[in-house]
Amino acid sequence: QKIREAKEKIEQARIESEKAEREGRLEIAAELRYGTLIELEKSLKEENERLALLQKNQKMLKEEIDEEDIAEVVSKWTGIPTSRLIEGEKDKLSRMEERLKERVIGQDRAIEVVSNAIRRSRTGLQDPKRPLGSFIFMGPTGVGKTELARALAEFLFDDEEAMIRIDMGEYTERHTVSRLIGAPPGYVGYEEGGQLSEPVRRRPYSVILFDEIEKAHLDVYNTLLQILDDGRLTDGQGRRGK
């Protein structure tokens, strides 16, 4: 309250000083500018210092709402990490390869391709309704396929746990597609939801990793095409996730 009052007094003193100067009352203008204003600004500085001291012990006490406060609220609503909301998009994307290479060694080409695709999407050169990117990582065990997916989740969403991993070795049979999107009404497990559709609904800002996708049944591929093409999936209960 005191800080707000001090700011109002400073603004009023400036207005009166300018008015006095226009009217030729130079003595009053000088007194306001070099006397009253200086004292008020000194008082404001002292109040700000006192508030800063209080904030060290009482984190919630603030005179003004800043971008960090707004980002924190939006983060709770959307699930987008706070640091990514306040970090400049241009600066973040320009360092994408550097950040990914800190975790994934020896996969420079893959990192470059992924980074370029993400940048194209973020700069508006891609349909915003579609996924940021769909990639197939091929190679023997231990070359960093899963680690790159984790690193991408950490870079995009500030949390490597923002990755939904589906073991496609469990979807070799035709009927297993229902486990992915949930059983239709009237069938066993209808209330449980799908192993993919439910995590996506709960956490839409995620990287989805289909591990060992070559093992999946053809009907499962057909379901995945809907996700890879337009980023949408309708579960067994008719709910659509994006």
Percentage of the chain modeled with pLDDT above 90: 8
Buried b (16+ CB within 10 A) or exposed e, 98-112: eebbebbeebeebbe
Contact yes or no for 155/87 (Cβ under 8 A): no
Rounded Cα–Cα distance for residues 93 and 82 (Å): 16
Q: In this structure, what DSSP letter does residue 36 have?
A: I
Rounded Cα–Cα distance for residues 197 and 241 (Å): 7
Q: Give tens-digit pLDDT for 114-169.
A: 999 888 877 666 666 777 788 888 888 888 899 999 999 988 888 888 898 999 88
Of 157, 154, 161, 159, the C-alpha closest to 205 is 157
Contact yes or no for 132/115 (Cβ under 8 A): no
CA geometry: angle 138, 111, 88, nearest 5 deg: 145
Rounded Cα–Cα distance for residues 163 and 149 (Å): 8
Of 107, 84, 234, 62, the C-alpha closest to 158 is 84
The tens-digit pLDDT sequence of the chain (242 residues) is: 677 888 888 888 888 888 888 888 888 888 888 888 888 888 888 888 887 777 666 555 555 666 667 767 766 665 665 555 455 667 778 888 998 999 999 899 999 999 998 888 776 666 667 777 888 888 888 888 999 999 999 888 888 888 989 998 888 888 888 788 776 666 665 566 677 878 887 887 888 899 988 888 888 888 788 777 766 666 656 565 55
Q: Give tens-digit pLDDT for 207-216.
A: 889 998 888 8
Rounded Cα–Cα distance for residues 61 and 57 (Å): 9
The pLDDT value recorded for residue 119 is 84
Compute CA distances 14 → 26, 39, 208, 217, whole Å: 14, 13, 58, 76
With tokens 């769909």, the residue in question is: 134
